[in-house]
Amino acid sequence: MSVDIVLTVNGTRRTIPIPDPRTTLLDLLREGLHLTGAKKGCDRGQCGACTVLVDGRRINSCLALAVSLDGAEVLTIEGLAEGDHLHPVQEAFIAHDGFQCGFCTPGQIMSAVGLIREAQAGNDPERVREAMSGNLCRCGAYAGITEAVLEAQGAMSQHTIRDSATRQGEAA
Amino acid sequence: MIPFEYVRATDVADAVAAGGAPGAAYLAAGTNLLDLMKGGVSRPTRLVDITRLPGLAAVERRDDGSVRIGALVRNSDLAHDPAFARTYPAVAEALLSGASAQLRNAATAAGNVMQRTRCPYFTDTGSACNKREPGSGCDARGGETRLHAVLGWSEACIATHPSDFCVPLVALDAVVEIAGPAGTRSVPLDAFHRLPGDAPERETVLEPGELVTVLVLPPEAARFSGHSRYLKVRDRTSYAFAVVSAAASLRLDGGRIAEARLALGGVALKPWRAREAEAVLAGRAPDEAAFRAAADAALAGARPSGDNAFKIELARRLVVRAFQRAAAGTPERLPALPGSAFAPASEAAHV
């Protein structure tokens, strides 16, 4: 029995038929919506390559049933940049060589975006490493990844300070 | 994964009615269940989605000082709830020492309690496992047993319960509220998980259709906030299950231990409350000799189930260290590596 669900994927709200309730969010994204940025690494919640944001929180999309997420907002790596303007986390991964083969990178970047939103790590590299432990990188780009997360977080908080200063200026 | 019928429950009565059918299983985040279904270990023919049940996703503080943790509260939300973490720091530390940030964002409080063992012979459908297939035998016996139980095991099953969260909860006398076809009931968490005996397939006291709705910490659990720690030895410092863990809490009065609480993880098929150790500590000064005596009492009944005798001594040492850290006081902020027994230099213990 097919069930229709509504998902907002990268800002676009859409009704999606789910013919088989066994479909994970990851399989729906990759096979149904042709958003192949989220990767199927282990498919068992161990590697983090499938990380996406659901309602603003990073999760393993391989361990979520799509039919259960009816009504959710999903953000994938494809929805991160604004046109040709890369997200600060994407820019920082390039600047700090936060990858080699690139397979884990969409998951690493989405996890980093989630980490920065959670605002628990501060600028402590140890806390960043701990908070990124759900994303494995077999090339071993961890040092660059940690630097990239810290730099992007700093850049984003500068943006926030600048944005709020601009707003205050406009208000005055 | 075999095909299943998907049912979305709208309230608890609806869920319980749908969940009582043979072959039914409850679905919350599914972080453990889906993994087991993909491996063919769990084969439900109906999934009852409980994620929409109203009122079960909140942490509620009562005037009597108790706190009610809704079944659907996400692990990360509970750990990062400032008032909760301040009052029950060992619970927050245990939560954050478990799994990964992604899994904690999805996994629920009741799902954590209900999670299955990570015994590799249970998850490998090519191995004999009395828990997965009653009467089939136990290939863990005589196999790779480094991480298996040292307390409360039986010839039929030597698996352990993998939860971190449950360890401080059981030390703090948490109670499980259950809804079922015959109404609601409450069971102490200490009595919720069953030791294997000769029926390891029966993992909890839940009857068919029964659903965990709330975890309750009684008012007394808040007395230990100043002196509580959760320490966890694992094969890597993050994103790994416990080899051995310990939740230690103290209530100090005039330089003496007024009351102690201790539970161990990774040692048995349930979170292991060590009341004998607590009795040893009552009235004593919080010093190493007392903590060693408590550790000896906690592990007095331990015996290896294979190549894991080291876990008994490891657990003793961890109990001592957890109590030493608890006596020193709950840290102002949770450590960067929650539950790590290998503290940074500023609070390094003598090894």
CATH number for A15: 3.10.20.30
Residues A23 and A40 in one domain: yes
Q: Sign of torsion, CA A36 A42 A45 A46?
A: negative
Residues A69 and A105 in one domain: no
User: Which amino acid, one-letter code, is at B156?
Assistant: A
ipTM of the complex: 0.95
Residues A99 and A143 in one domain: yes
- Is A16 near chain B, with CB under 8 Å? no
Residues B35 and B86 in one domain: no
Looking at the predicted structure, is the pLDDT value of residue B351 above 50? no
Residues A163 and A98 in one domain: yes
Cα B212 vs. chain centroid, distance in angstroms?
Answer: 15
Residues A65 and A98 in one domain: no
Residues A66 and A108 in one domain: no
Interface test with A, best of B34, B46, B236, B334 (most A CBs within 10 A): B34
Q: Which pLDDT score is estimated for A166?
A: 62
Residues B9 and B109 in one domain: no
CA–CA separation, A87 vs A113, rounded Å?
9
Range of the domain at B34: 5-52
Residues with Cβ within 8 Å of residue B161, at least 6 apart in sequence: B115, B117, B193, B265, B268, B269, B270, B271
Kindly state the percentage of chain B with pLDDT values over 90: 97
- On the CB side of B282, CA atoms within 13 Å amount to 7
How does strand B256-265 pair with strand B272-273? antiparallel
- A132, closest residue in chain B (CA to CA): B101
CA–CA separation, B63 vs B55, rounded Å?
18
pLDDT digits over B179-189, tens only? 999 999 999 99
CA–CA separation, B136 vs B130, rounded Å?
5
Number of domains in chain A: 2
pLDDT digits over B177-224, tens only? 999 999 999 999 999 999 999 999 999 999 999 999 999 999 999 999
* Residue A63 with chain B: CB contacts under 8 Å: 29-31, 34-35, 103, 106
* Residue B51 with chain A: CB contacts under 8 Å: 68
Residues A13 and A52 in one domain: yes
Q: What's the order of all strands across the beta sheet hosting B175-180?
A: B59-61, B67-70, B211-217, B175-180, B183-188
Number of domains in chain B: 2
Residue ranges in chain A whose pLDDT is less than 70: 161-172
CA–CA separation, A120 vs B107, rounded Å?
18
Check: CB of residue A60 under 8 Å from CB of residue A129: no
Q: Which pLDDT score is estimated for A159?
A: 76
B3, B5, B35 member nearest A63 (Cβ): B35
Q: Which of A57, A79, A101 is the last residue of a domain?
A: A79
Range of the domain at A95: 88-171
Looking at the predicted structure, is the pLDDT value of residue B349 above 50? no
Q: Which of A34, A58, A79 is the last residue of a domain?
A: A79
CA–CA separation, B71 vs A62, rounded Å?
23
- The SS3 of residue B46 is strand
Interface test with A, best of B105, B237, B347 (most A CBs within 10 A): B105
CA–CA separation, A100 vs A113, rounded Å?
19
Q: How many CB atoms lie within 10 A of CB B80?
A: 18
